[in-house]
Structure 1
Amino acid sequence: MYQNNAMNAYRMAASSSLSDREADAECFRRLIATLESAAHETDVIQRNQALAKNQRLWSLIQRANAVEAGMVETEDRLLFARMADQAQRYGIRAILDPTLSLAPLIDTARNVLEGLEMAISEG
C-alpha cells in the first residue's frame, strides 16, 4: 500500500515537473526580470546583485557546454560557450562601470529565451 502511494505521488510530480528546456526558459525569464528591474534603478547594490546572477547563470551554461556529453552538437556547444563568454565579459564591464547599459545583457537573454520557447513549442 505504501509503495503504491509513493509511486502515485512520484508519477504526479514527474508529470507536472518542468522539462529541461522549460526550466532553462524560466531561469532566463527570471534573469530578464532581475536585469530589467536593476536597469531602472539607481541602486548600485541591486545592480551588482543582478549582474552577479547574470554571471552565475552564464557560468553554469559555459560549464555545461564545456563538457562533452554527446547530447548537443559541437557547433551548438561552441555557440553557447561563445555567448556565455561574451555575456560574462560584458557583465564584468558593467560591474566595473555603473553607467554602462544593461540592455545588451537583457537583449541576449531575450534572444535565448525566444529560442527556448520556440524549441518548447516545437517539442
Structure 2
Amino acid sequence: MHPALRAYQAVAETSLSGREAEAACFTMMINELTAAEQDHALRFKALDRHQKLWSLIMKANIVDSGQNPSDDRVLIVNLADKAQRYGIQAILDSALSLQPLIDIAQDVLDGLLAQ
C-alpha cells in the first residue's frame, strides 16, 4: 500500500475531518518533495509517491458518483494530470526542479486550509 494512502487512512480514522486528512497528505508530500529537491537520492522515491498520490486523487474524482460538483471534479482531474505530466518529466530529467510540484501541492494545501 502506498505510504501516502496508509498515512491518509491512519489520519482519516482519527477525529480529523476528510479535509484535514487531505491537508495532512499534502503537507507530507510538500515535505518529501522539498527534501528530495535537496537530496538527489530521495528524488525518485518522492516522485514515485507524488505520482501515486495524484493518481489516487484523479481516480477518486473520476469515480466520484456526483458527490462533488462537476466543475470541481474537472478542475481537480486537470490539476492532477498537469502535476503527473510534470512529475514524469522530472523523473526523466534529473536536472528539472521539483519546485513546480511543491508549488502545486502548496496551492492545494492552502485551499484545503482556507475552507
Q: Which residue of 16, 20, 45 maps to 1:22?
A: 20
Aligned partners of 1:63 and 1:118: how far apart in 2? 24
Determine whether 1:57 maps to 2:53: yes
Report 1:34-113 matches (<5 A): 34-43=32-41, 46-113=42-109
1:1-21 superposed Cα distances (whole Å, 9 cap, x missing partner): xxxxxxxxxxxxx9x521100
Higher Cα radius of gyration: 1
Identity of aligned residues (%): 51
Aligned partners of 2:64 and 2:22: how far apart in 1? 19
Q: Which residue of 2 aligns with 1:116?
A: 112
Aligned partners of 1:92 and 1:107: how far apart in 2? 16
Structure-2-length-normalised TM-score:
0.86
* Runs of at least 5 residues in structure 2 that lack an aligned partner in the other structure: 1-11
1:40-81 superposed Cα distances (whole Å, 9 cap, x missing partner): 1132xx100000110011001100010142220000000000
Deviation beyond 2 Å, 4+ runs, structure 1 = none
Q: Which residue of 29, 32, 41 maps to 2:30?
A: 32
* Runs of at least 5 residues in structure 1 that lack an aligned partner in the other structure: 1-13
Q: What is the CA-CA distance between 1:117 and the residue it aligns to? A: 0.2
Cα RMSD after superposing both structures = 1.6
Structure-1-length-normalised TM-score:
0.80
